[in-house]
Chain A
Amino acid sequence: MKKFVDLNLCAPIKDEKGEAEELIKSSAELGYNAIGVPIPIEATREEIQNLARMSNENNLDLIKRGNLRPRNVRELLSLLNVLRGKREVIAVYCDSKTIARQVAKDHRVDLISFPSLDPRRRFFDPAEAELASKTSAALEIDMAPLLTLGGFQRARLISRLRREVAIAEKFKVPIVISSGTSDKYLLRKPQDYASLAYLFDLSHQTARKALSEFPLRIVERNREKLDSGYVAPGVYIVRRGEDCHDV
């Protein structure tokens, strides 16, 4: 059976009104197996454990996600230094072209996101895709704006997404579809998101991969790297012992 992942479930980390629990429960009911929740830098260990407990109770795998919104390249690099070792998935919201280019080049970034609905401020063009194809970064598409927007604004967004998807497929950049919402009424089943992806010409098969195979690959790769036995790609500590005296 396919495992479905929502890498951007915006559950509030301070769950005072029970909203996070409701969202996590809804995700489980909709058929997800794992959820990525953005965890801010200042989050405490108790808050993270509380999220993990709620996820466990609903048979969901919690993926710790770090959202970066840098104002310049310098800030991006310093945030990456701080968060890369602490989060299982790193997503960068690109507000400028220079940041977008740097993000596409950096191997530590997993997801490239464009929060702006203005097509001129979404910088996923062939040059960006070519850079991203050489690293392991994927293009993230949040589905919430497709449901909340209407009229000409939605038409413009769909048109832009269609172009971005075509570019990503041409340069073999993986696409990740996520909900990007904190409202349970904007959550949909993975299969329904795949159907909605028809709007921007993403085939049903690729859309399903964007909800399962591609995000899972990112998570597995990063968990492997965060493991204490990991040294380098293909090199792991199998057993720890004393120094070899004979050598």
Chain B
Amino acid sequence: MRRRYIAVKIDVKQNIEGKELINAVSNSLLSLFGEYGASLAELTLIEHDPDANYAIFRCNHKALEMAKASIIAVREINRKKAATQIIYVSGTIKALKKKVQPITGQQASLRL
């Protein structure tokens, strides 16, 4: 199965946990595309760095546009105002990290 990895920057006033982030994105996905759409997207949080506010999501490549729209449509994470930005999309996590590292300035420190 082909997948896509999406690097996301989160702009939020306070630190958030990975669980809160995936809940917000899942709710956005469900709200926009319903349960059927969510089942197609297979959206998963792979890594999250709460200090740098970066995260990596994985989705099915056929549902990339759905996943991107759902991530962008997030405006609250655990009742805190938030904005999300997609930094880069890649077919492999290795290539994604290579691209994201110069932006985050961190050496593969993303974790769940």
Given contacts A30-B85, A195-B65, A195-B69, whether A185 and B32 have CB atoms under 8 Å apart is: no
**A contact face: mostly helix, strand, loop, or mixed:** helix
The answer to whether B69 and A198 have CB atoms under 8 Å apart is yes
Across chains A and B, the number of contacting residue pairs, with CB separation under 8 Å, is: 44
Please measure, in the bound complex, the distance between the C-alpha atom of A235 and the C-alpha atom of B65, giving whole angstroms: 47
The answer to whether A187 and B72 have CB atoms under 8 Å apart is no
**Of B15-23, B40-48, B50-58, B75-83, the one touching chain A:** B75-83
Question: B16-44 CB contact bits vs A (8 Å, 1 = yes)?
Answer: 00000000000000011000000000000
- B96 contacts the other chain (CB 8 A): no
Please measure, in the bound complex, the distance between the C-alpha atom of A188 and the C-alpha atom of B9, giving whole angstroms: 11
The answer to whether B72 and A195 have CB atoms under 8 Å apart is yes
Given contacts A30-B85, A195-B65, A199-B32, whether A188 and B11 have CB atoms under 8 Å apart is: no
The answer to whether A199 and B69 have CB atoms under 8 Å apart is yes
Please measure, in the bound complex, the distance between the C-alpha atom of A186 and the C-alpha atom of B32, giving whole angstroms: 17
- A146 contacts the other chain (CB 8 A): yes
Number of interface residues of A (CB under 8 A): 21
Please measure, in the bound complex, the distance between the C-alpha atom of A154 and the C-alpha atom of B65, giving whole angstroms: 18
Give, as a whole number of angstroms, the nearest-CB distance from A166 to chain B.
18
Instruction: Name the CB-closest residue of A to B64.
Output: A195
Please measure, in the bound complex, the distance between the C-alpha atom of A13 and the C-alpha atom of B94, giving whole angstroms: 46
- B3 contacts the other chain (CB 8 A): no
Given contacts A186-B83, A195-B86, A198-B65, whether A147 and B73 have CB atoms under 8 Å apart is: yes
- B61 contacts the other chain (CB 8 A): no
The answer to whether A196 and B83 have CB atoms under 8 Å apart is no
Question: A29-63 CB contact bits vs B (8 Å, 1 = yes)?
Answer: 01000000000000000000000000000000000
- B99 contacts the other chain (CB 8 A): no
Chain B residues lying within 8 Å of A198, measured Cβ to Cβ, are 65-66, 68-69
Given contacts A146-B73, A198-B65, whether A192 and B86 have CB atoms under 8 Å apart is: yes
Please measure, in the bound complex, the distance between the C-alpha atom of A151 and the C-alpha atom of B32, giving whole angstroms: 8
Given contacts A151-B31, A198-B65, A199-B32, whether A192 and B72 have CB atoms under 8 Å apart is: yes
Instruction: Name the CB-closest residue of A to B66.
Output: A198
The answer to whether A196 and B73 have CB atoms under 8 Å apart is yes
Please measure, in the bound complex, the distance between the C-alpha atom of A188 and the C-alpha atom of B87, giving whole angstroms: 12
A-B contact pairs, 13 of them (CB 8 A): A147-B73, A150-B31, A184-B83, A188-B85, A192-B72, A192-B85, A192-B86, A195-B65, A196-B69, A196-B72, A196-B73, A198-B65, A199-B32
The 3 A-B pairs of least Cβ separation, nearest first, read: A195-B68, A185-B81, A198-B65
